[in-house]
Amino acid sequence: MSSTMRFTGAAAGADSSAYDPRYDPLVDATPGRGRAYAPTYWVATAGAPPADDGPVRGDIDADVVIIGAGFTGLAAALFLAQEHGIKATVLEANRTAWGCTSRNGGQGQNASGRLYRSQWIARWGLDTAKKLDAEIRVGFETFKSLVREIDCDAQDGGHLYIAHRDKKLRFLENESRVMREVFGYDTRMLTAEELRRDYCDEREAVGALLEPDGIGVHPLKLAFGYTRKARALGARIHTGSPVIGWEQKNGAHYLRTPGGTVRARAVGVCTGGYTGQALNPLLRSKVMPILSNSMVTRPLTEDELRATNFRSTTFITDTRTLRFYYRLLPDRRVQIGSRSAITGADAEHPRHLQLLRDGLARKFPPLKDIPVDYSWWGWVDVSHDMMPRIVQPDAAQQAFYALGYGGNGVSFSAHAGRRLAERIAGKADTAFTLPIYDSPLPGHWAAPFRRLGQAMLYRWYWLRDEML
């Protein structure tokens, strides 16, 4: 990590609206102030953003403040109002759903964090794993209930894990068995021939695991729906209002923004991979921001659809550690994403887009030279132990956070926002004894060297996934 923080937007006293492709949460003190959206396909096709309450202007009091107007923050504000009668004030540095919420792949999985269910058993034992699975199932129902209420181009077709090598097929076979026999899911394995006949002609696949639960969405349309619901219930959403100072005095939180200070009884942090290192000591080095790159092609022609045999919009993930995720969108475009760049300073380098182009060409050779209409990247919040937390890290402080989804936050963020609202409202629940609720995020022990470690890990992951 650089020893010098790069101040952008509000932190530098400027009110710049330009999109900053080099933004890096380990370097920049804030994500900026009032910045434009990244040039994503979702932004281009979501329609006009719903109304918000504009920047904070003057000092104000609030019962509860939520920092971050992404999926989790908006869901928390919605459920605070709907289920607890608390009208939260949301502080967003830039624009509603500006961060990962408008930059992801729109894959709503029945999952949380980066660990598979067999790994839950290995880490916590069978009893806890079953209770955690029940909680994640409840969370997926929370997500489904919101999707049913909001026009977000939902594609309810489950989820396909693609084995890109034979050794990965054995791993998926075991995972399918565990999900079916231990947790009662209707999973099944597909041969490469069945996959290519019934779903798509994915040329890398040697087989696949089909999960019945999974909904692809237009994430920004969904987030805009959350926004409208939350504001209709009385929540206030202040955009262009980054938190540039945070103090506690006499049991109250004083959150300084460029337009004024907000005093609050309780604060919920929902900043994901955009969590600045200086926001609060309770959050420093608790998540590792990882860049995820994405691209969307032009619409496929009839000939290209026949050549790739796309018969389903079921979304897909492969079994690489730095996984590719991809799907056919409702307008016949193909979206594909993966991990690539390590720093914001390097994010614009053409090799990262080329990695996605090459991945698409391996998987679907007829699309090797297809034009790309949209390309972007965004920061994913990965926790040290690969699982999220929705916690009050210090019992003496009315400060809470929901972080660490590891790229699986599209669906779980809805439930995380609901659980965060419960914790802020002081509601007890037996679920709060589960590992994702009962302890803070572990810190990264080698924080100053984590980017170096990340680069070394990426090389090792490639060797393990492709060669060994």
State the total domains in the chain.
2
Torsion on CA atoms 192, 193, 198, 201, rounded to nearest 10: 70
Statement: residue 341 has pLDDT above 50: yes
**Span 380-404, pLDDT tens digits:** 999 999 999 999 999 999 999 999 9
For residue 69, which of 47, 93, 39 has the smallest C-alpha distance? 93
Residues 419 and 311 in one domain: no
State how far Cα 248 lies from the chain centre.
29
Residue 119: inside a domain:
no
Write the CA distances from 98 to 70, 171, 395, integer angstroms: 7, 36, 31
Torsion on CA atoms 398, 404, 405, 409, rounded to nearest 10: 50
Residue 173 belongs to domain with CATH number: 3.30.9.10
Q: Which of 382, 417, 435 is the last residue of a domain?
A: 382
Contacts of 119 by beta carbon, 8 Å cutoff, 6+ apart: none
**Span 279-291, pLDDT tens digits:** 999 999 999 999 9
What does the mean pLDDT of the chain come to?
Answer: 95
Statement: residue 13 has pLDDT above 60: no
Contacts of 57 by beta carbon, 8 Å cutoff, 6+ apart: 259, 260
Statement: residue 9 has pLDDT above 50: no
Statement: residue 376 has pLDDT above 70: yes
Provide the pLDDT confidence category of residue 446 given band limits of 50, 70 and 90: confident
In the block, tokens 């598979």 appear at 116
Q: What is the share, in percent, of the chain residues with pLDDT greater than 70? A: 97
Residues 93 and 188 in one domain: no
Q: Which of 1-10, 294-303, 400-409 has the lowest mean pLDDT?
A: 1-10
Provide the pLDDT confidence category of residue 447 given band limits of 50, 70 and 90: confident
Q: Round to whole Å and give the CA distance between 186 and 29.
A: 46
Statement: residue 192 has pLDDT above 90: yes
**Span 199-222, pLDDT tens digits:** 999 999 999 999 999 999 999 999
Q: Round to whole Å and give the CA distance between 292 and 323.
A: 10
Provide the pLDDT confidence category of residue 1 given band limits of 50, 70 and 90: very low
Q: Confirm if 384 and 450 have CB atoms less than 8 A apart.
A: no
Residue 66 belongs to domain with CATH number: 3.50.50.60
Statement: residue 8 has pLDDT above 50: no
Farthest CA pair distance, the chain: 68
Statement: residue 366 has pLDDT above 70: yes
User: What pLDDT, on a 0 to 100 scale, did the predictor assign at position 340?
Assistant: 87
> What are the E-state strand segments in 340-425?
372-383, 389-391, 399-403
Q: Round to whole Å and give the CA distance between 60 and 285.
A: 30
Residue 2: inside a domain:
no
Residue 467: inside a domain:
no
DSSP code string of 287-348:
EEEEEEEEEEEPPPPHHHHHHHT-----EEEESSSS--EEEE-TTS-EEEEEE--SSGGGTT
Indicate yes or no: pTM above 0.75. Answer: yes
Give the pair of three-digit tokens for residue 429: 């629940």
Residues of the domain holding 50:
9-104+220-287+385-452
For residue 117, which of 58, 170, 177 has the smallest C-alpha distance? 177
Residues 371 and 345 in one domain: yes
User: What pLDDT, on a 0 to 100 scale, did the predictor assign at position 16?
Assistant: 54
Residues 212 and 294 in one domain: yes
**SS3 track for 214-269:** EEECCHHHHHHHHHHHHHHCCCEEECCCCCCEEEEECCEEEEEECCEEEEEEEEEE
Provide the pLDDT confidence category of residue 317 given band limits of 50, 70 and 90: very high
**Span 61-92, pLDDT tens digits:** 999 999 999 999 999 999 999 999 999 999 99
Helix (H) or strand (E) holding 143: helix 126-149
User: What pLDDT, on a 0 to 100 scale, did the predictor assign at position 11?
Assistant: 35
**Span 417-437, pLDDT tens digits:** 999 999 999 999 999 999 999
